[in-house]
Amino acid sequence: MNKNSKIYVAGHRGLVGSAIIKNLVSKGYTNIITRTHKELDLINQKAVEEFFEKEKPEYVILAAAKVGGIVANNTYRADFIYENLQIQNNVIHQSYVHKVKKLLFLGSTCIYPKNAPQPMSEDSLLISPLEYTNEPYAIAKIAGIKMCESYNIQYGTNFISVMPTNLYGPNDNFDLETSHVLPALIRKIHLGKCLEENNWEAIKEDLNKNPIEGINGSNSENQILEKLNSYGIEVVVSSELQVEKENTTNNRLPTTHNKQSKIAIEIWGSGNPRREFLYSEDMADACVFIMENRNFQDIVNQQVENCKTTQKELPTTHHTLHTEVRNTHINIGTGIDISIKELAELIKNIIGFKGELYFNTEKPDGTMKKLTDVSKLNSLGWKYKMDLESGIKEMYKWYLQ
């Protein structure tokens, strides 16, 4: 890419897209085009076609997607598969039609099977069933990978797929119903700290910026406490806390807040699942690095060389129709994981919350371990920079501001 190349970033307001825009600007790219959802509905095939015809972008970074945590994925299954498939189909196809020089498609490591060998290499794709709770989203992203591969094979396009691990950072989603685990924990523990300090001004400010099911700072304290309680930010009489932690029932805890009370934060599951987290700005740097330095054919050639080294029979180039080209996507991550319990304790210490954390084992854990094999990415010459503790501190600072 040249510094004045016309680059379309789809999904520029989200966690991923905003970080990529920031990285591109920092590296001197000056011709970046964006559209808000109101300006361009990527689900609308005709609208996407008209946008590409008018703007004719040279490069496309497809970061737009419907995303969410375990609750949202499992609740809105039809929305997740339909909307993501539509966005991908429209943008990838129009990129082919309008001869885009290179496209980067962003997915997620949730594409890998529930019981994939750890760490999960790119070759783990489709070897066994997916985790049920996010199956619709994962299938949509797998379809995006295969669509990119298929267009490359049939039409010689240069479409590359990258699969980032769990991301966090500025512009993340802090909605307690739809957010991922890390931003949800930050917000819940922040609100818990405000409660234990009786800082109602901060609580109301938080709710005014991001209401919870219509509850904002104008509601009464009792209404706010009741809503926070329903999301596991709970005022607990001290003598009852240990009983509640041991029983882990769904009974509503007291909403009265007095000197004999403690604040308890409910966390879904056992706390034992292990997850890998990558700071969004590191992810963006990896994406721009790949756009600048790698083409689809490079990835295929690397596979061929690896197969020769290991004496496997696998793909040659996309020009040879009888060979198999698959798993050309690239994992983006750190290769380091942490348990949800350890993560919660880390966030608790960073925020300065003195209350209790308890784990509701009646709620699902999801996949027990999800660690990516990032050897392919590292071999290209890229490695992450931000460690988890520093990243959470930066994210919390952003959230407070």
Residue 323 has pLDDT above 90, yes or no: no
pLDDT value at residue 249: 46
Cα dist from 20 to 27, 90, 228, whole Å: 11, 21, 34
3-state secondary structure of 306: helix
- The reply to whether 137 belongs to the active site is yes
203-235: pLDDT as tens digits: 999 999 999 999 999 999 999 999 999 999 999
φ, ψ for residue 212, nearest 5 deg? -110, 105
Mean pLDDT over residues 266-280, rounded?
A: 96
Tell me the C-alpha distance between 307 and 314, whole Å.
Answer: 6
Mean pLDDT, the chain, whole residue set: 91
For 218-227, 231-240, 331-340, which range has the lowest pLDDT when averaged over its residues? 231-240
Where do you find CATH 3.40.50.720 in the chain? 7-171+275-337+368-388
Closest CA to 388 of 190, 208, 167, 69: 167
Helices (H), 5-120: 15-26, 45-55, 70-75, 77-97
Mean pLDDT over residues 17-22, rounded?
A: 97
**Residue 223 token pair:** 């209404």
Residue 211 makes CB contacts below 8 A (sequence gap 6+) with none
Tell me the C-alpha distance between 202 and 198, whole Å.
Answer: 9
Point out which residues pair with 356 in neighbouring strands: 264
Stated length of the chain: 401
3-state secondary structure of 272: coil
Q: Encode 333-352: b = buried (16+ Cβ within 10 Å), e = exposed.
A: bbbbbebbbebbeebbebbe
Residue 41 has pLDDT above 90, yes or no: yes
Share of the chain above pLDDT 70, in %: 90
φ, ψ for residue 179, nearest 5 deg? -80, 160
3-state secondary structure of 315: coil
Residue 138 has pLDDT above 90, yes or no: yes
Residue 50 has pLDDT above 60, yes or no: yes
Tell me the C-alpha distance between 125 and 61, whole Å.
Answer: 22
Domain boundaries 7-171+275-337+368-388, CATH class: alpha beta
Of the two residues 164 and 257, the one the predictor is more confident about is 164
Number of separate helices (H) and strands (E) present in the chain = 14, 13
Query: Per the residue annotation, which of 8, 59, 96, 137 is the catalytic one?
Result: 137
Cis, peptide link before residue 119, omega less than 30° from 0: yes
pLDDT value at residue 144: 98
Tell me the C-alpha distance between 91 and 103, whole Å.
Answer: 10
Of the two residues 300 and 310, the one the predictor is more confident about is 300
φ, ψ for residue 70, nearest 5 deg? -60, -35
For 199-208, 230-239, 344-353, which range has the lowest pLDDT when averaged over its residues? 230-239
pLDDT value at residue 72: 84
φ, ψ for residue 345, nearest 5 deg? -65, -40
Give Rg (Cα) of the chain. 23
pTM of the shown model: 0.86
End-to-end alpha carbon distance in the chain:
34
64-95: pLDDT as tens digits: 999 887 788 889 999 999 999 999 999 999 99
Q: What share of the chain is helix, strand, coil (3-state, %, to 5)?
A: 45, 15, 40
Whether residue 144 contacts residue 127, with contact meaning beta carbons closer than 8 Å, is answered with no
φ, ψ for residue 138, nearest 5 deg? -60, -40
pLDDT value at residue 301: 84
Whether residue 290 contacts residue 330, with contact meaning beta carbons closer than 8 Å, is answered with yes
pLDDT value at residue 322: 45
pLDDT value at residue 305: 76
Tell me the C-alpha distance between 188 and 194, whole Å.
Answer: 10
